[in-house]
Amino acid sequence: MRYGHFDDERREYVITRPDTPLPWINYLGNEAYFGIISNTAGGYSFYRDARLRRLTRYRYNNAPLDLGGRYVYLRDDESGEYWSPSWQPTQRELDDYSCRHGLGYSIIGSTYKGIRGETLYFVPLAENLEVWRIRVTNARTTPARISLFDSIEFCLWEALEDNTNFQRNYSTGQVEVEDGVIYHKTEYRERRDHFAFFACSAPLAGFDTQREDFLGPYRGWDRPIVVERGAATDSVAHGWQPMGSHHVKLELAPGETKEVIVLLGYQENPKDDKFDPPGSQTINKKRVKPVIARYLQPAVVERVFTDLRDYWTGLLGILQVHTGSEHVDRMVNIWNAYQCMVTFNMSRSASGFESGIGRGMGFRDSNQDLLGFVHMVPARARERILDIAATQLPTGGAYHQYQPLTKRGNNDVGGGFNDDPAWLVLGVAAYLKETGDASILEEPVPYDNQPGTETPLYEHLRRSIQYTLDRLGPHGLPLIGRADWNDCLNLNCFSETPGESFQTTENKEGGVAESVFIGGLFVLAANEMAAVAERRGDAAEAALAADAAAAMTKAVETAGWDGDWFRRAYDYFGRVVGSKECAEGQIFIEPQGMCIVAGIGLENGMAEKALASVRERLATPHGIVLNNPAFTYYHLELGEISTYPQGYKENAGIFCHTNPWVMIAEAMADHPEAALDYYMRINPSVREEISEVHRCEPYVYAQMIAGKDAPTHGEAKNSWLSGTAAWNFVAISQWILGIRAEHDGLRIDPVLPADWGGFKVSRWFRGAKYEITVHKSTGVTGRVARLTVGGREISGNLVPLPTGPDESFDVEAFVG
Ligand code: BGC
Ligand code: NOJ
């Protein structure tokens, strides 16, 4: 069952009924001012940091789930009837409804008794405000008198404090209202230099800034007393819950449309120029007033909205594929690329499942996200790499997270996740291959943000590799530390205290427990390092890394091999994890994927066996589960993984982040059918038709789909902010379609099923444009046998680097 459809032409998903199984959200903002918005206008906004600069209030895990947002109410002043064009919060049954989630904007609208209300929400590029462009149309044959109310609830800036410290909060709220603009200035008198504004383009009939006056005692957002009566109270908030609402009266002739622009924004003032007149306690508005005046003009709004659309056309234009499969094309060309940009902006901070209060930027997460967006925003990827590397420790180890505002390592979460350093090597390698910008390796970067400790970035990579070599266990495999990619495989933790964090507790000497997964990851990273070192003329490091990769491959093929698949780990007691010998958790997906991605077992039959075992033991119609059998008991020695009920999250859930590793492995092992089949199983666009089962948005990946052991097999959770976005993008575009940036050129190496024909790709790479046609007849399999660039035949399948700027090339590749 579907709740809408894709509009690929406009790059939108169109939701046609409001009662989606979960709120289906979208993101507003590109640089500093952001918001999340659901299909019924729920959500909130923040400046840079969803915890420390929260503009509007939102209560997670509410009933209904999604309550609080950017609500508009319309009231028919003849009949007194009122409703919300976004359905929520009044839930009036509407004559029609649609929500168009686009790239960086949403348009939500409906018709009720001949009155159409539609709002476009977006954040103009490089501005710290959001625009609501509201259009009200009278489709009746008689004139209409309509009252319009907008509304938001201000958050008292620090989202955690806002949710918890009521003895203080109920007394601190303050606003100013001037010329119909509502200014939220809680704590501005003292240590804050920022305030929020809520402005409206139309003359006001009134306003409200005190929630209780707007809603009325004991009432909710579904029936505000002010809307019911059709009259604002001009309330001025003192303490309690400051909010903003403007009341506008519209007279509409038959067929007439009127437009009202509403702005919600964030503004900072210099510390010594906060007040006007100086010495008063009144906000100095001289900087913000011109901004407000500018964006209240319809022509400006129209123009900056076009700019936003052009911005996305530019970013997405870097890679466009035309395969004939709508599921592949719309994900690669639109939604998966968009999701990668959202993970770049948000990391794991704010979504329907991440409260904006919890996690900072993951060291591992941020490096992996980079794989999905480096081709679109290489300059910002460069900056991101340098930020991440600056939090690295002198040992080569890493804080597991760092804070976006301070860019410093987060002590509360600490380090010791022994896979972290290897991801830095992979992130940097991806950047180098995409851009060829070797200068990044020479950038001086400190350790632990300590001035004076700078070394070239290259040395950080060297230490990343050395970090693993300094921490090998009894089988020559990497010690796991607190955990590896699987944050819930906590082999040195042994937690018996309720509420204790599995991620930060390491109460056993960590000298025995080893990870086969890190073994595979290390081989991949060390080989990348060898290539980087060689190009830099550092033969010694190149040899060291290559030798280390070879030795690790051996260790994985011996101690890491279980006969039919790769083992997962050795625990604190040196007992094997992920083996036939185990009662539960005999086989895990991560090492099957990662070891083969690193090239292990491709020559000696291990990869074939491991992939067959995945198919037999782990694959389901909804994707590949993480482990099998699921853990049914709490295993003190394994940690959080065994705390989840069977089939959820790391305990045998379909952890979508890991599935693309298997897709890539299948492609590398020359199994195109299997690779694409796994891709289609978790592809959100394919799953659109089972939206009642999948339940999350059909346009983006979710972190997890419930596995075969769960009662809700096939149900997705934790959409949007996951390494799933980057890795699926890599799997389909670089390994199945096979268009891969490399140090020396653009590889054209598709691995396609027999029933596929050829396809076309346009790709900007190192400043040149490549129009690529892959010729393939259905029925044919195999790799590229012949390649021409600009009509000239080239041996192999690597398109050489361009020699000058602005070149463009026609590339023809023939499969079979
Ligand atoms: C989740 C993991 C997550 C970890 C760290 C765990 O509860 O299951 O997916 O990575 O927390 O935040
Ligand atoms: C979510 C985390 O963000 C990611 O880093 C981790 O690898 C997975 N959970 C698996 O535990």
In the numeric block, the tokens 């205290």 are attached to 497
Residue 577 has pLDDT above 80, yes or no: yes
Q: Kindly report whether the global pTM for this prediction surpasses the value 0.95.
A: yes
Residue 793 has pLDDT above 90, yes or no: yes
Residue 410 has pLDDT above 90, yes or no: no
Q: What is the dihedral of CA 723, 33, 263, 271, to 10 degrees?
A: 160
Kindly report, residue by residue over 546-561, the tens digit of the pLDDT: 999 999 999 999 999 9
- Segment 11-21 shows an average pLDDT of 98
**What pairs with residue 247 in β-bridges?**
149, 206
Distance 155 CA to ligand 2 centre (A): 29
- Segment 224-231 shows an average pLDDT of 98
487 catalytic residue (yes or no): yes
Residue nearest to atom 10 of ligand 2 (CA): 486
- pLDDT of 413: 85
Residue whose C-alpha is closest to residue 704's, from 629, 651, 665, 634: 651
487 lines ligand 1 (CB under 6 A): yes
- pLDDT of 405: 77
650 lines ligand 1 (CB under 6 A): yes
484 lines ligand 1 (CB under 6 A): no
Kindly report, residue by residue over 662-672, the tens digit of the pLDDT: 999 999 999 99
Residue type, 328: V
- Segment 653-681 shows an average pLDDT of 98
Confidence of residue 114 (pLDDT cuts 50, 70, 90): very high
Residue type, 705: I
First-to-last alpha carbon distance for the chain, in angstroms, is: 39
Ligand 2 nearest atom to the CA of residue 348, by list position: 3
Q: For residue 1, count CB atoms less than 10 angstroms from its CB and return exposed for 0-12, middle for 13-18, buried for 19 or more.
A: exposed
HSE at residue 3, side-chain half, CA atoms within 13 A, is 25
How does 54-74 read in b/e, with b if 16+ C-beta sit within 10 Å?
bbbbbeeeeeeebbbbbbbbb
Distance 11 CA to ligand 2 centre (A): 29
Ligand 1 nearest atom to the CA of residue 655, by list position: 9
Q: What is the average pLDDT score of the chain?
A: 97
Kindly report, residue by residue over 323-372, the tens digit of the pLDDT: 999 999 999 999 999 999 999 999 999 999 999 998 778 999 999 999 99
Kindly report, residue by residue over 228-263, the tens digit of the pLDDT: 999 999 999 999 999 999 999 999 999 999 999 999
Residue nearest to atom 7 of ligand 2 (CA): 485
- pLDDT of 414: 86
Residue 509 has pLDDT above 90, yes or no: no
- pLDDT of 404: 78
Kindly report, residue by residue over 120-172, the tens digit of the pLDDT: 999 999 999 999 999 999 999 999 999 999 999 999 999 999 999 999 999 99
Residue 412 has pLDDT above 90, yes or no: no
Closest ligand relative to 483 C-alpha: 2
Ligand 2 nearest atom to the CA of residue 365, by list position: 5
Residue type, 209: T
Distance 413 CA to ligand 1 centre (A): 12
Residue 176 has pLDDT above 80, yes or no: yes
- Segment 705-721 shows an average pLDDT of 98
Please check whether residue 28 is in contact with residue 34, taking contact to mean a CB–CB distance below 8 angstroms. Answer: yes
**What pairs with residue 118 in β-bridges?**
109, 135
Residue 303 has pLDDT above 80, yes or no: yes
In the numeric block, the tokens 């003359």 are attached to 203
- Segment 722-741 shows an average pLDDT of 98
Please check whether residue 461 is in contact with residue 425, taking contact to mean a CB–CB distance below 8 angstroms. Answer: yes
- pLDDT of 805: 81
